[in-house]
Structure 1
Amino acid sequence: MSQKIQKIQRIWQRRGILGVLHFLYQNAASQIKNKRAYQQWIEKNTFKQEDITSARQQISQWQIQPKFSIIMPVYNVEEKWLKRAIESVRKQIYPHWELCIADDASTESHIYSILTHYSQLDSRIKVVFRTENGHISAASNSALELATGDYIALLDHDDELAINALFENAQLINRYPEADFIYSDEDKIDSKGKRFSPCFKPDWSPEYFYSCMYTCHLGVYRTSIVREIGGFRSEYNGSQDYDLVLRFIEKTKNIFHIPKILYHWRSISASAASGSQAKPWAYTAGRKALESMLERSIYPGHVEETPNPGIYRVRRDIIGNPLVSIIIPSAGTTVNNASGSLCLLENCIRSVQQMSTYRNFEIIVVDGYDIPDATLEKILAMDVKLVRCAEPFNFSMRINRGAAEAKGQFLLLLNDDTEVITPEWLESMLELAQQTEIGAVGAKLLFPDGRLQHVGVMILEGNPCHAFYGFDNEQSGYYCSNIVNRNYLAVTAACLMMRQEVFQLLGGLDEAFPLNYNDVDLCLKAHQTGYRNVVTPYAQLIHYESASRQKGLKPGEWNQLNHKWKDYFEKLGTDPYYNPNLSLKAPNFELF
């Protein structure tokens, strides 16, 4: 509760009582809308009898009939939940499975009789009764010893699988036989069987995964790799599955996402699904699992816990002391604000120099011979390098000219209408940009009143959209997406860091986009080449959006972007970092 009070206090200080009321109304309205929307979604997406008939026909024609070993550790669970968990497996449309159950020396008498009954009822159900209570990792490993399938799937003893869970996974494996790790979307289910709180996930997003185990249920893993890495480790009990997957993904890149609800997580008092305080030791184990990952990584570092249980910040050590070249195109525009006139360029440079704790940077200002002499004199006294460009304003051209003069290993593209407000902004971006698999790194940008301007760009039906545009900064986003490092298809060049070598490899900014979409184009080139892009909320700047240049699109810009990227958009199908079940009308992660 104290976190919520502190959040309200911060909004009050920035935006007053009206801001607080708007925030509370926005949250309440969103919750009500989402609850209603999900019930409507369930009605439209329930697997019907004709779907089952069609699925069975498909199964009979498949070349590959993978066998799934469902791992289920059991300990003193209520009789009704245990039966429902087992029955959800027996009801699977896809028939090639085995349920591997390990009872962890339960003291409740009904456990033995239920498990014995089901093992005699269905030969696909295997049971081992442990003589000592070893907790969840030991019990999971005992169940794993029974497994003979090509893949294992993890099921908690009080949860349920959707009827099509294994069918959907087997269907994907027939399309992509190389699949090693498959995860699906999930929801929660209460004691009365009502489903709620769906989690519609992005495709594989490593930086998001290092912030929280978003893949969770249903997770399906190639058995041989699980055995290769040694199964579950007891020292990570509570987050043993997080530890397992952190080690698993070091062995494969063949990771797939099924954007369907295939798992129902039981929300009762004994379950982690009931709330963040249900199993506090699990979050300590999660931090330990991440620390272990960092010890194995070529990018070591440390883990910081956040005010949100189960949400972490992985900090990578910066390799060496690389020079960052900050490139700022500018005309030295002055605007009026509440305090009087403000030269945006001077304010931007001053914030960089005064706020930044990372000191190895150079500032390159690119202008069109249009910065007023008085401003020019001031910024040159700030140890700034000036590059002049006589051609008509073209943002891409000016960035490219600045990059050609840059001495740094890293480039930081920066609008002159920004103001740094977090001292470690450069470190936060550097620790990501230095990684060889990462292309563009973006920052969290705020309007002067504290509303969100940028936390990532999604491309929905060819339209680049800013996630949660205009929402309050205290809005944590969809499953904390606004407050953790998260992968996006694109980020804005108002503040974008990239290694110089990657920038040059991609050909810099396309000068055919003189004003808009040059950043989206750059990020798409990076993604197409195999890099991933990421936004870090730990680098924050105020963005006086387009205060120094004309707003809006020029004729043909949108058509130009979509013509250039038509084939790639078709190949992607949808934005991989935005679940296809979510609305395309607005990028706010809502169903309708």
Structure 2
Amino acid sequence: MNYKVQKIQRIWRRRGILGVLNFFYQNAASHIKNKISYQQWLEKNTLNQQHILIARQQIAQWQIQPKFSIIMPVYNVEAKWLTQAIESVRNQIYSNWELCIADDASTKSHIYDILTHYSQLDSRIKVVFRTENGHISAASNSALELATGDYIALLDHDDQLAINALFENAQLINRYPEADFIYSDEDKIDSKGKRFSPYFKPDWSPEYFYSCMYTCHLGVYRTSIVREIGGFRSEYNGSQDYDLVLRFIEKTKNIFHIPKILYHWRSIPASAASGSQAKPWAYTAGRKALESMLERSIYPGHVEETPNPGIYRVRRDIIGNPLVSIIIPSAGATVNTASGSLCLLENCIRSIQQLSSYRNFEIIVVDGYDIPEETLEKILALDVKLVRCAEPFNFSMRINRGAAKAKGEFLLLLNDDTEVITPDWLESMLELAQQKEIGAVGAKLLFPDGRLQHVGVMILEGNPCHAFYGFDNEQSGYFCSNIVNRNYLAVTAACLMMRQEVFQLLGGLDEAFPLNYNDVDLCLKAHQAGYRNVVTPYAQLIHYESASRQKGLKPGEWKQLNHKWKDYFEKLGTDPYYNPNLSLKAPNFELF
């Protein structure tokens, strides 16, 4: 059954016909708003002659003048698109470039005429005419053979570079000469030249990259490394650039992102930019590229298809059968729900024990001698370890006390007001948390009515906030952010997994944050120490948020967090996983 039909059926079962209509309304309203917003954004962010003059003055002062070799394979493209693509290179503010074109034995006569004309017009344009059609990887390698630049940049034969594309890359290289891989933001351009559908990307996010080839255009790569890894591979045609980058990033950590629209991807029927049906074979090739990556990885596994073409789920094999210590601070509170009275702690433990497909775990409940006797008897009968803490409620202290008694190699911090709804939640988190580069792993948390409570925490101007808070779970989010593994600066301790050794190395939770921001503080410590934090949407729980304690901040908590992390916030500048072009008013990936 079609995935979209299944989605509509799920909404209908949960919220009826009005819910379905509201879903369609929200989608349509968001689409219209985004279209209008981007046109307004373009009016404010288009380069003028003054900007170009200043850029040229800066170029004259640079110590480094990197040479870019722009690789462009060509095959039977319409004359006007090919001409516009070439002219977008010739119009660059930065002039130290060469355009390396390989015609892949085109059968249309205008191709030879246009390429010959430009090669005679501009000495920086080099052309090779292949005698047989070898498809895109072979043609790209032929173009690569012509390259003499320090860096290569990839340009499709019907797309356009922004006028400042090479300037921005050269400017970054002057600031960071060690840069090996640079990617930028992009948008789409239609047959009439109208720009739309901007993609404002995060800084380097490996887990997101293993889910989709989000870096895409404009990609700029150090030539020596491209040659070292053997260029493009024909068996991955359609996703040859994905395969190239998957191998490239194994050779370097010097990856940089320019948060500017530097590439215009042509949206016409023959282009992948027009939709997922344009080049279906590309998605099969993308899966093969990821499978090849896993064969080379120290964390092997397999790739699963998702209902969204071009979106993948990389599953890593869990190493051994490690014990997971689930630490739950609780007072055994009871709440009223639509189904009647519910003891949160009992419900949480029951969901873990009845639903979890991974069975090597221990449950540690930390209380302040305030769990009702009746509840205490029930949970102790469920093979639960009890740790008692006489001090006034301090979430951080109680987690640390539980961690001290934990025998597991992995800790899972868990609120008692949660309920597991995906059986493989522990595996989904373990396969990430076991990787030595990863610090905290968070889950997708939902309100009982299916709205999003947590899919990641971003810190905007010192203010921690949940991405897409209150949105419908059926919304896939900004470029599928809500339905793939993705890096965030922080995750919530309502469900947070971390290796015990990392937790202890970071000093556990800071008990100076007794109620709020202790999780953000822990994640910032992890990020500062060089770990990356991840949210996986494949581990899902219902969160009866703050049902067991009062909501809201206590006086001074926000100020305390910002005082402690002031220097680090200044060093970061902005949240690396939230593009600075996007609105700071709410973390919903909108322009205004």
TM over 0.5: yes
Give 1:198 deviation, angstroms: 0.4
Percent identity over the alignment?
93
Pair 1:487 & 2:474 matched: no
Q: Secondary structure at the match of 2:482?
A: coil
Give 1:12 deviation, angstroms: 1.1
Cα offsets for 1:105-154 (capped at 9, x unmatched): 00000000100000000000000000010000000000000000000000
Give 1:338 deviation, angstroms: 1.6
CA distance in 1, matches of 2:224, 2:331: 60
Q: Secondary structure at the match of 2:256?
A: strand
Alignment match, 2:458: 458
Q: Secondary structure at the match of 2:132?
A: coil
CA distance in 1, matches of 2:47, 2:535: 36
Alignment match, 1:391: 391
Cα offsets for 1:272-309 (capped at 9, x unmatched): 00101100000000000000000000000000010000
Give 1:466 deviation, angstroms: 0.4
CA distance in 2, matches of 1:377, 1:154: 65
TM-score calculated relative to the size of structure 1: 1.00
CA distance in 1, matches of 2:2, 2:508: 47
CA distance in 2, matches of 1:176, 1:124: 26
CA distance in 1, matches of 2:347, 2:6: 30
Give 1:238 deviation, angstroms: 0.1
CA distance in 2, matches of 1:505, 1:85: 52
Q: Secondary structure at the match of 1:29?
A: helix
> Structure 2 regions of 5+ residues with no counterpart?
none
Pair 1:316 & 2:313 matched: no
CA distance in 1, matches of 2:32, 2:340: 43
Give 1:43 deviation, angstroms: 0.9
CA distance in 2, matches of 1:16, 1:470: 19
Q: Secondary structure at the match of 1:263?
A: strand
CA distance in 2, matches of 1:23, 1:473: 11
Cα offsets for 1:426-455 (capped at 9, x unmatched): 000000000000000000000000000000
Give 1:380 deviation, angstroms: 0.3
Give 1:21 deviation, angstroms: 2.3
Give 1:591 deviation, angstroms: 0.3
Q: Secondary structure at the match of 1:53?
A: helix
Give 1:344 deviation, angstroms: 0.2
CA distance in 1, matches of 2:205, 2:405: 34
CA distance in 2, matches of 1:220, 1:377: 62
Give 1:337 deviation, angstroms: 1.1
CA distance in 2, matches of 1:330, 1:18: 37
CA distance in 2, matches of 1:240, 1:508: 43
Alignment match, 2:352: 352
> Structure 1 regions of 5+ residues with no counterpart?
none
CA distance in 2, matches of 1:378, 1:576: 45
Q: Secondary structure at the match of 1:482?
A: helix
Q: Secondary structure at the match of 2:584?
A: coil
CA distance in 2, matches of 1:151, 1:15: 53
Task: State the number of aligned residues.
Answer: 592
CA distance in 2, matches of 1:47, 1:73: 29
Cα offsets for 1:555-579 (capped at 9, x unmatched): 0000000000000000000000000
CA distance in 2, matches of 1:244, 1:13: 44
TM-score calculated relative to the size of structure 2: 1.00
Give 1:19 deviation, angstroms: 1.9
CA distance in 1, matches of 2:416, 2:108: 67
Runs of 4+ residues deviating >6 angstroms: none
Give 1:158 deviation, angstroms: 0.2
CA distance in 1, matches of 2:24, 2:61: 53
CA distance in 2, matches of 1:41, 1:2: 35
CA distance in 2, matches of 1:384, 1:350: 11
CA distance in 2, matches of 1:269, 1:28: 23
Cα offsets for 1:37-90 (capped at 9, x unmatched): 000111111111000000000000000000000000000000000000000000
CA distance in 2, matches of 1:102, 1:508: 56
Give 1:44-83 correspondences, 5 Å limit: 44-83=44-83
Q: Secondary structure at the match of 2:416?
A: coil
CA distance in 1, matches of 2:550, 2:291: 47
Give 1:27 deviation, angstroms: 1.1
CA distance in 2, matches of 1:339, 1:36: 44
Give 1:9 deviation, angstroms: 1.2
Q: Which moved more, 1:283-292 or 1:1-10?
A: 1-10
Give 1:4 deviation, angstroms: 2.1
Alignment match, 1:548: 548
Q: Secondary structure at the match of 2:514?
A: coil
